[in-house]
Amino acid sequence: MNKLFSFFITAALISGCAGTRQIRSVTASLKDMYKNDFLIGAAVSWQQVEGKDPAAFNLISRQFNTITPENIMKEEELRPAWGEYDFSRADRFIDFAKAHHLQVNGHTLIWHSQMPAFARSIESVDSFRTFFTDHIRKVAGRYSGKVQSWDVVNEALNEDGTLRKSPFLNKLGDNYIADAFKLTNEVSPGTDLYYNDYNNEQPEKRAGCIALIKKIQQAGVRIDGVGIQGHWHVGKVPFKEIEESILEYAALGIKVAITELDIEVLPRNFTGAEVSQQMKTETNSNPYVKELPETVQKQIADDYGRLFKLLLKHKDKIARVTFWGVHDGQSWLNDWPIPGRTNYPLLFDRNGKPKPAFYSVIAASKR
């Protein structure tokens, strides 16, 4: 289907629909519409790899050309005990990607959260460094040539741009990030290497992120890109800061990726994606249990459309845009920062049907 025909179908659906109820089928593909611009991806769960999510099955290969393991490749998933590795699920994920002709972004080698329990109890600096070094060498080495990129280090910065006092910083010192990139490059030289964080489009944290990238570069260590996670809130997407960040990061000679994109619609009293933060359930905590009001549906569609127009403006600097989930039912925002809520942050609903936001993103490609 050519772009012009897709556009007419899209326009008819947008003008005629009242919410998602009248949208019957997907007539366009994100990966096709943006094939000359940047990769389009989604975070994929173990349930989806197993084929137990019918709503996602057809969407994954139809809509996306790259996938990220939502949890499958994190440290706690791969390291059941000291000296032991379990690659069974990660290997299945790689096989799934190959079978569906999808590129892979590995996520993530070094992250202070979702560490295996045994690693948190390591007291010896030498033993902790062994854990750190062996993990990178074994994991990145095993999947060398099988992943297109790695989020080498994830969320190492505080909101003010200083280094987070994680077990890695406390045990290994402030050179651990450059060391992680160096080790990954040694065992996986053909893989793009990224630093990934949330809120690093905000000026203070962005400045810290730029300083961190420069330090890695000045150490003579390869870093190919920075991931801006993109966990934003409807009606409050920081477009000005996003554009400034794209320009400033690209000026360092690296690629930019939007790595964990979702636009939240539920009330929250803080920004970002710090998984340790929680909120108490209140009367208005879960306002859209049955459906999303048309006004909010329109706002999230407008936000997504404006965002993709901005990304297209700087497509020469953008390598990839990855949504953090395939459809609303999978989204981590249903259970964080309050468990059991009904959120609507993605382009497809719980049945895998396209929302107005999907068609807004498709329409943005008509420039």
Choice among 155, 201, 264, 274 that is catalytic: 155
Closest C-alpha among 65, 136, 138, 148 to residue 106:
148
Cβ atoms of residues 195 and 227 within 8 Å: yes
Cβ atoms of residues 209 and 157 within 8 Å: yes
What are the DSSP calls for 27-72, one per residue? -S-HHHHTTTT-EEEEEE-HHHHTT--HHHHHHHHHH-SEEEESST
User: The tokens of 67 are what?
Assistant: 């996938």
Instruction: Please indicate whether residue 260 is annotated as part of the active site.
Output: yes
Residue count of the chain, please give it.
Answer: 367
Instruction: Please indicate whether residue 274 is annotated as part of the active site.
Output: no
**Strand duo 231-233 + 103-111: pairing:** unpaired
Cα angle at 296 between 367 and 68, to 5 degrees? 65
Interior/surface letters 27-61, b for 16+ CB within 10 angstroms, e for the rest: bbbbbbbbeebbbbbbbbbbebbeeebebbeebbb
Cα angle at 260 between 63 and 187, to 5 degrees? 95
Catalytic amino acids? Answer: 155, 260
